[in-house]
Amino acid sequence: MISTLEKEITFRFLKARKKDGFLNVISIFSFIGIGLGVAVLIIVMSVMNGFRTELINKIVGFNAHITVDPYENKIELEKINQNLQSISKDLILSNSGEAIIVKSDTSKGILLRGYKSNDFSKLEIFDNNLFLGNNEVLAKNYISIGKELSFTLNLEVGDSITLMSSAGVETIIGNLPKQKTFLVSSIFESGLFDFDNNIAFINLKTLEEFFNLDDKDRKLEIYLNNPQNIEYQKTVVQNNFPDEFVYTWSDMNNSLFSALKVERNVMFIILSLIIIVAAFNIISGLTILVKNKTRDIAILKSIGVLNKSIVKIFFLIGVIIGTSATIFGIILGVTFSLYVENLRQFLSTIFNISLFPEEIYFLSTMPSEINPLSIFIISLCSILITIIVSIFPALKAAKLDPIKALKYE
């Protein structure tokens, strides 16, 4: 317990005095250092959490949650058991192939995905206000392209483009790649630059004719009711298709999310050094405070104040500085995290620079997700560091000999 006397002396020592000018500067820098360290940690963790969540949502919204790729046997939707139907929202057959898109003097490699017209409109990516055109029109010789690809090739809904297939056709002069003209029926926007620039959709039967594929090559795309709990549901699908290759959205992007996790942990460790360096200023400040208060400590001891009370007084000073700085950092960090996208837009406009380029980070806006658990861990680490560094100066103050201290007073 902390007595009233200990509290009074603690707050008296915390008050600024003219003769303690340099000491106050150190205390202010300690406060600012810890506060900024906590704030930067919260902002970085929030942005990285938001980036991961947004990336998962975009990937899950664009790709099938689980894909079944047949080795030999054709997939029959009629033979799928009840367990699989209970966990899935949609079961869609698809196929894919790589082609070259040609428009005027420009050519670009793209990945074509084939769907039936009635399945095309079920895809989550088209259930938004950014979709242009008719999401039900994916008939023969129609194509749906991404927003970035439309910018790259200067295309609009209703324009025609030529595709060259990787599959060949025999002619009198040898094997030549197939060419076909398609009409742009719609333009989609997934929010992921890489997808919008490199993937297009055409009719399933048209794709199979274009790439010389058979219906036994069709993949089964499974869209789940709960795409987050992926491992258990993958097991259910594997039990239903023991002889086929089954993979999930998580498997396809495992290296990316592993890299994000490692990067987040490394950033936490590196940025924690800011708090540690700032906390060492508390040691300097308290050590100087002990020197300046030598006479006061000696008088307190001479009137009967115990050593443990002296320890508590100086320990409390350090903890108060650290805790108040941590609270300040939390407020600052949360505020910046809430308005980080507004700040990014403001800085980009003022300095005319791109702080979050889509082609590098995949996303068009800087995401932020405030995680209460992360804030709690950061705050706990900050306060623990403060507690640790406050112990040494407090013990040093308690060991002061009052006789020697008052000898020359």
Q: What is the mean pLDDT of residues 105-112?
A: 85
How far are the Cα atoms of 9, 304, 308 from residue 3, in angstroms, in the given order? 10, 14, 11
Degrees, nearest 5: CA angle 370-371-372: 115
With DSSP H G I counted as helix, E B as strand and the rest as coil, what are the percentages for the chain, rounded to 5?
Answer: 60, 20, 20
Q: How far apart are CA 323 and CA 384, in angstroms?
A: 10
Residue with tokens 């054709």: 74
pLDDT at 120 > cutoff 90: no
* Local confidence band at 152 (pLDDT 50, 70, 90 cut-offs): confident
Q: What is the mean pLDDT of residues 206-216?
A: 86
Residue 24: predicted pLDDT = 64
pLDDT at 168 > cutoff 70: no
Q: How far apart are CA 192 and CA 246, in angstroms?
A: 25
Highest mean pLDDT among 88-102, 224-238, 241-255: 88-102
Task: Name the more confident of 252 and 150.
Answer: 150
Q: How far apart are CA 392 and CA 48, in angstroms?
A: 36
pLDDT at 16 > cutoff 60: no
Q: Are residues 13 and 218 in contact, defined by beta-carbon separation less than 8 angstroms?
A: no
Q: Are residues 183 and 145 in contact, defined by beta-carbon separation less than 8 angstroms?
A: no
Please give the single-letter amino acid code of residue 248: T
Q: Which of 201, 189, 199, 183 is nearest to 92 (CA)?
A: 201
* CA quadruple 231, 242, 67, 256: dihedral sign: positive
Q: What is the mean pLDDT of residues 287-297?
A: 73
Q: What is the mean pLDDT of residues 110-118?
A: 88
Write out pLDDT tens, residues 377-407: 888 888 888 888 888 778 877 777 766 656 6
Residue 354: predicted pLDDT = 67
* Segment holding 36, helix H or strand E: helix 21-62
Q: Which of 96, 146, 93 is nearest to 118 (CA)?
A: 93
Q: What is the mean pLDDT of residues 122-139?
A: 72
Please give the single-letter amino acid code of residue 27: S
* Local confidence band at 351 (pLDDT 50, 70, 90 cut-offs): confident
Residue 395: predicted pLDDT = 81
Q: What is the mean pLDDT of residues 185-200?
A: 84
pLDDT at 299 > cutoff 90: no
Residue 330: predicted pLDDT = 92
Mean pLDDT computed over every residue of the chain:
79
pLDDT at 22 > cutoff 60: no
Task: Name the more confident of 1 and 86.
Answer: 86
Residue 137: predicted pLDDT = 67
Query: Domain segments of the chain: what residues?
Result: 4-56+256-406, 71-243
pLDDT at 57 > cutoff 80: no
What proportion of the chain, given as a percentage, has pLDDT over 70? 85
What proportion of the chain, given as a percentage, has pLDDT over 90? 3
Q: Which of 322, 319, 321 is nearest to 311 (CA)?
A: 319
Residue 331: predicted pLDDT = 93
Residue 332: predicted pLDDT = 92
Q: Which of 246, 219, 210 is nearest to 112 (CA)?
A: 210
Residue 402: predicted pLDDT = 67
Q: Are residues 24 and 281 in contact, defined by beta-carbon separation less than 8 angstroms?
A: no
